[in-house]
Structure 1
Amino acid sequence: MTSEDRDPHPTNGTTDTGAGARSSTISLGPKGKRQLPIWQESLILLVIALGLAVLLKAFFIQAFYIPSESMEPGLQVNDRILVQKLSYWGNGTPQRGDIVVFGDPDGWLSAEEAAGPTSGFANLLAKVGLYPTGGHLVKRVIGVGGDVVTCCDKQGRLKVNGVAVDESQYLAKDAQCAAPLSVQAANPCGRKALHVTVPKGYLFVMGDNRGDSGDSSVHLCTPGATDCPPTRGFVPVDNVVGKVFALVWPLSHFDKISRPDAFKDVPDPK
């Protein structure tokens, strides 16, 4: 047999060890690289997934839940929502009509409400943005810096910069009027009972269920109060986490959330 008859490069995955014996070689991946065991690949994928989740939470999207009836009927208790964090990056700022999530500005929440998840697993999910965190509120922006918000006109509507706002698109249907809870307690439709100017860099926010919402109107300084900061009851823009853009759970409530056109005719503050 000539040298041409021999196969110097076996291609059947075995190696000649002499005396006619052949042994199996180690399985190699593409380009001759050694393949990792399945459990190691799974662990690496899990770490990558968690890293991406942390990144999403830090810069893009975060999950929250609705803790009370204050935003009914649109958002109900225990609904899960997604917040877009980059909505107000750069020169973007919250606009009238936006539903926003913000950090508690001045003790609006009780200790229990601000606590957040208590179990270790829920805490871990919260850190990567897969579980709602505590210490936040969800409200609708009614006035931005410089706006004058008054309540109410003859039809019980809020007025912003002198223009009455038709909020029927999202307000609770059984609300007596658009008046905030604090005003309704004194006067069922609260006409001419509220008159505030929103400080620059702050927001005036309210719940859609005006009869059950501890919002800006409830936390304002009372007339004649002493030692009460002028920004009490307003929300610093810096406290805003982002704009709510989707209701994702339960699936029966799934909905895209956008800014209503109720404030389109409101002029800029003078």
Structure 2
Amino acid sequence: MTATAPPASRPTRWRRIRRSPLTHLVLAVVLLALVQAFVIKPFQVPSESMSPTLQTGDRLLASRIAYAVSDPGVGDVSVFARPESWGPRPERGVLRTAVGWVGDIVGFGPSNQDALVKRIIGVPGSTVRCCSTEGHVEVDGQSLDEDYVVHDLPFTPGVSDCTTTPQSPRCFGPVTVPDGEYLVLGDNRANSADSVIGCRGTLPTTAECARFVPRADIIGKVVTVVWPFDRARIFTDGG
């Protein structure tokens, strides 16, 4: 008598689901979303305010982990969600919102998150002013060495500085940063809508003219530029 082969067992429903390309796609999207939510997130530079350090359209990666283990520090180039005090966020239609939702998940394409990129200059409790006699920004009385600033506002000691009338447009402060908030400036000081855009040239004695970034709005620390390739770089301390 010839033995017959046992009938091939049919895959169970769970096995079919696990082998499905759609399941693999969903898991990949979920994993990508988790990485962006907790580890590292790509962004596109929206303006020239950080030029020449960052140019409009540069694609960069911001580390969320960096600020999970330590607080933002002076000199960090950081990505943050536009605070409400910085003006209204752009209105978007249903289709644009849907496309942005996909972009926020996969990290490419349009985004619904109105994110900005600036350099942290003042941390909670510090006092920031400009300028020293040489035209430098000072934090708690110490001048910053900002070799990354190429396009600054005009300042000529004895001719147009913080003691002349009119004052140099570079001047502002002293401004004391409130608890839980940060003062940020663009590297392109001559063209940057940053924390002190409403303070320059007035030398206020209060922080009422300044607009700060709450800690909760800071998304991550810029660690690298990945596109375009000819501008790719890794950021060290101070950018």
**Same fold judged by TM-score > 0.5?**
yes
The equivalent of 2:215 in structure 1 is 237
Structure 1 unaligned blocks of 5 or more: 1-5, 16-24, 262-270
For these two proteins, the number of residue pairs brought into alignment is 228
Q: Check 1:109–1:136 CA distance in 2 against 1; reply closer, same or farther (3 A cut).
A: farther
Superposition map of 1:180-195 within 5 A: 187-188=167-168, 190=170, 193-195=172-174
Match among 128, 132, 141 for residue 162 of structure 1:
141
Distance 1:133 1:79 in 2: 18
Match among 193, 197, 202 for residue 218 of structure 1:
197
Could you tell me which amino acid in structure 1 is paired with residue 170 of structure 2? G
Could you tell me which amino acid in structure 2 is paired with residue 240 of structure 1? I
Bigger radius of gyration among the two = 1
Q: Alpha-carbon deviation of 1:85?
A: 1.1
Structure 2 unaligned blocks of 5 or more: 157-161
Distance 2:67 2:209 in 1: 22
TM-score (norm 1): 0.70
Q: Check 1:217–1:209 CA distance in 2 against 1; reply closer, same or farther (3 A cut).
A: same
Equivalent pair of 1:247/1:255 in contact (CA under 8 Å): yes
1:249 aligns with 2:227: yes
Equivalent pair of 1:87/1:243 in contact (CA under 8 Å): yes
Bigger shift: residues 133-142 or 205-214 = 133-142
Q: Alpha-carbon deviation of 1:135?
A: 1.8
Superposition map of 1:143-182 within 5 A: 143-168=122-147, 170-171=148-149, 173-176=150-153
Distance 1:77 1:53 in 2: 25
The equivalent of 1:73 in structure 2 is 52
TM-score (norm 2): 0.78
Q: Alpha-carbon deviation of 1:133?
A: 3.7
Using the aligned pairs only, state the percent identity. Answer: 32
C-alpha root-mean-square deviation of aligned residues, in Å? 3.6
Q: Deviations over 1:191-224 (max 9, x none)?
A: 5x43111112111100000000000111459979
Q: Check 1:7–1:254 CA distance in 2 against 1; reply closer, same or farther (3 A cut).
A: farther
Equivalent pair of 1:98/1:258 in contact (CA under 8 Å): no
Match among 100, 105, 111 for residue 127 of structure 1:
105
